[in-house]
A and B are shown apart, each in its own frame.
Chain A
Amino acid sequence: MTRPGPPETDAGPAVERYLAEVTARLPGPARAHGGIVGELRSGLLDAADAYQSSGVPPAQATGAAIREFGDPARIADAFRDEIAASQARRVAVTLLVTGPLVGLLWIAAAAVSHLGLRFGQPWRWTGVPPVIHLVFAAVAVTACAALVGIATTGRLTRWLPVRPRRAPTAAAVAGFGAVGADGLGLALLAGQMAMAPGRLSPVLAAAAATASLARLTLAGRAARRCLAIRASLT
């Protein structure tokens, strides 16, 4: 079953040229397309084999297989929609999973620090700077956009009409929402450190800040990447 076969790239220059034409039109780094290229390559070789066993000489069998596969631009366009959707889904899921974890770290840091906060219903909190409402708004935007991103790329797509650009747009909005939420959290922390650093719980505050900084960086990068893919969709 897993017997090593001939080298995967030994498919002849015409096949490799065709595959290169497809991948040149795909978004993202080449290493991300290894699976697609491998699958298309084995399909082309299977097609060439089929031509050969029906009597077509080997030299022409490869050409016939390539013609049968069709316009590389068309295949690349279809795969681009696919890559955009799966990337958007990954970003949305990651944001939705990490959000509550980072949020809990901040809540723990705030609760353990001596900030004079009174917790209860969020709208009755006292001693909380008004900026916190902006943080809540950014969190809400992130969560809603991430849910849209997940809904438009999963099983619901069987029933929903899906436009290829919707999921990358939602994922980008979610990413920028996370940047906003984490950025505001870090700004609040910086303000507290400037005014009364002694009241902070150093370990938890450092943990929350590190988590937010990492998430901010990654979410910003992912959001820009989603926008770039969105722009490449036809």
Chain B
Amino acid sequence: MRAETLKGHLDGILLAVLEPEPRHGYAIMEALRVRSDGQVDLPTGTVYPALHRLERAGLVQATWSAAGGRRRRVYQLTPAGRRALDAERSTWRDFSAAVTALLQPSPAVASSS
């Protein structure tokens, strides 16, 4: 899946990846790859500005940590971020159910083939 396909859903996806535990930028990217079975393959650099945008919107909180001698910015969900993730999930469920229903071949087409 390319960045264009994910457009509009990146925020929700990032929040979901941060739900279990706080992570830094590269760990978020790795978690995205693992959780999507390698289907999500964004340019890693685009994740960082998106995280800053979520921080400004109050959905994540960032702190610097220096574990292992490398300074990393670690992101964690805020309560508002958790609520936004819940909202994103229910919107997605409705949307995907509707699109799945719409994309189903209609009975006439299915029987003629």
Closest to B73 in A: A39
Q: Is A201 on the interface with B (CB-CB < 8 A)?
A: no
Assuming the contacts A71-B43, A74-B45, A155-B80, asked whether A4 and B69 have C-beta atoms less than 8 A apart, the reply is: yes
- By a CB distance below 8 angstroms, the chain A residues around B50 are 78
Within 8 A of B (CB), among A44-86: 45-47, 50, 68-72, 74-75, 78-79, 81-82, 85-86
Number of B interface residues at 8 Å Cβ cutoff, please give it.
31
Within 8 A of A (CB), among B14-69: 24-27, 29-30, 42-46, 48-50, 52-53, 56-59, 65-69
Closest to A71 in B: B43
- By a CB distance below 8 angstroms, the chain B residues around A69 are 43-45
Docked-complex contact A70 and B58, CB < 8 angstroms: no
Docked-complex contact B68 and A5, CB < 8 angstroms: yes
- By a CB distance below 8 angstroms, the chain B residues around A153 are 56
Q: Is B7 on the interface with A (CB-CB < 8 A)?
A: no
Q: Is A2 on the interface with B (CB-CB < 8 A)?
A: yes
Whole-angstrom CA separation of A66 from B84 in the bound complex: 32
Closest to B59 in A: A158
Chain B's nearest CB lies how many Å from the CB of A37? 11
Docked-complex contact A82 and B56, CB < 8 angstroms: yes
Within 8 A of B (CB), among A1-31: 1-6, 8, 22
Assuming the contacts A153-B56, A154-B58, asked whether A5 and B69 have C-beta atoms less than 8 A apart, the reply is: yes
Other-chain contact of A46, B26, B57, B65 (Cβ < 8 Å): B26
Assuming the contacts A47-B26, A47-B44, asked whether A5 and B71 have C-beta atoms less than 8 A apart, the reply is: yes
Docked-complex contact B48 and A158, CB < 8 angstroms: no
Q: Is B93 on the interface with A (CB-CB < 8 A)?
A: no
Assuming the contacts A69-B43, A69-B44, A71-B43, asked whether A42 and B56 have C-beta atoms less than 8 A apart, the reply is: no
Instruction: Identify which of B43, B68, B70, B73 gathers the most chain A CB atoms within 10 Å of its CB.
Output: B70
Interface readout for A75-111 with B: 1 if CB under 8 Å, 0 if not? 1001101100110010000000000000000000000
B interface with A by C-beta (< 8 Å): 24-27, 29-30, 42-46, 48-50, 52-53, 56-59, 65-73, 80, 84
